Amino acid sequence: MNTPLDTVPNYDLRVETFKQGPFTFRLGLDLDTLDLRLLLTEIRVAHDLFRKLTLGPEVLNQLQNDATVSSVYGTNSIEGGLLTEEQTRKTIQLDEAEIQELEQRRAFNLKKAYDYSRAKSRTTGWHLDLNFIRKLHEIVTNEIPHVRDHPGLFRSNSNENVTTWVGGERYGGEYRPPEPPDIPNLMQSLIKWHDSLVEAKISPLIRAPLVHFYYEIIHPFYDGNGRVGRLIEASLLEAGGYKFTSGISQYYYEHVDKYFLLINQCRKDGERKKENPNTDFVMFHLAGINEIMHKMHDRNNKIAEELLYKSRVSELMSSSKINSRQKTIIDQLLKSEPNTKENISRESWYTSTYLGKVDKTRQRDWAKLVELQLIRIDNKNRVCIYY
């Protein structure tokens, strides 16, 4: 049976389903509203300024690493992952053979998926298709046990007497997503609809959250839908030139209640045929992107300052103005949060560095670091890097 598709001038795409009547993909927002235009302008200005910066490879690598950690930590935490941000950072640096625990596997899979997504979406001529979506799901769910889920395969519970429900009372109630016979057609229609938005020159800042939103409503797989949906969103932003914005997942995690509530609210508003039902979710997404753009500027400045600081420390070490013990203190401070000198003196690296040294040696070393303005003591008596 071929399902008729009716495209209407306001970017809507209406699809007839086997089980649940018509399903409509719609832009669902007024592109000419002042709030939307102002927010888009602010993001584009920040993005253009960022693109004009001359960023060395070391800064770019730092920014990319930060974005990857933020993405993996955020999207994994939304789905109940238990790793902290620092544990996530360490886990995704492991070799696959070193992965032992399920929590590590979840994070490691996501890192591989983001790497795959980034490589594909930066390829000239890339466009969203079903093979790409299936591959993301395959990577995300690899070696993750699940009663029914099969990596890369859509839900197919027709012969299992199983009904799929999504959501919960905390986030606006449960709903029943499309039945398996309709999933392949709806997913292909989602691709077709997105292609029409690209052709109409709708900004990726608008397209990405809308595709993410409708993907979640279709809920094509048994497991991993949220993770894959956020990966698709990140891919469309990346392909549209908005690099390092995959950290939107951490923004969603930091506002997780609002994230789920808005998905359900906009879904219900669409079912009720409310005018511009998708506005709130898109505006929420744009607020997150705007926050990320400003954080990227701040992070870029901090990385640049850190590189200049490290360069100065190397010069002082080369000219024998600081010794190896002082260099060790600096290296360790760069890796950790500010702490008091008393607490630092109890660290194993510190006690081994000053093993056999008298108090005067320790006092001289610290005093010299302060004199050279390499460290400072803040108002909470914590030792901080001086930049």
Instruction: Provide block-wise average pLDDT over 10 residues at a time, the chain (387 residues).
Output: 45 90 95 95 92 82 93 97 96 95 97 97 96 98 92 79 78 86 96 96 97 98 97 97 93 97 96 95 98 90 88 96 97 92 95 96 96 93 90
Q: How many CA atoms lie within 13 A of 23 on its CB side?
A: 24
CB atoms within 10 A of CB 148: 14
Strands 13-16 and 5-7 turn out to be antiparallel
Name the phi and psi angles at 211, rounded to 5.
-65, -40
pLDDT of 2: 41
- Rounded Cα gap, residues 270 and 213, in angstroms: 12
Helix extents (H) in the chain: 34-52, 57-78, 85-91, 102-121, 130-140, 183-199, 204-218, 225-239, 248-254, 256-271, 279-318, 324-335, 341-344, 348-353, 359-371
Domains of the chain: 34-299 (1.10.3290.10), 322-385 (1.10.10)
pLDDT of 360: 96
pLDDT of 168: 77
- The strand pairing partners of 167, in sequence order, are 174
Q: Are 238 and 118 a contacting pair, CB within 8 Å?
A: yes
In the 8-state DSSP scheme, what is residue 272?
Answer: T
pLDDT of 184: 96
What one-letter code names the amino acid at 274? K
Name the phi and psi angles at 195, rounded to 5.
-60, -35
pLDDT of 204: 97
- Rounded Cα gap, residues 15 and 23, in angstroms: 5
Q: Are 247 and 215 a contacting pair, CB within 8 Å?
A: no
pLDDT of 161: 66
Single pTM value for the model:
0.85
pLDDT of 159: 57
pLDDT of 76: 97
Nearest to 91 by CA among 74, 76, 75, 103: 103
Q: Are 40 and 27 a contacting pair, CB within 8 Å?
A: no
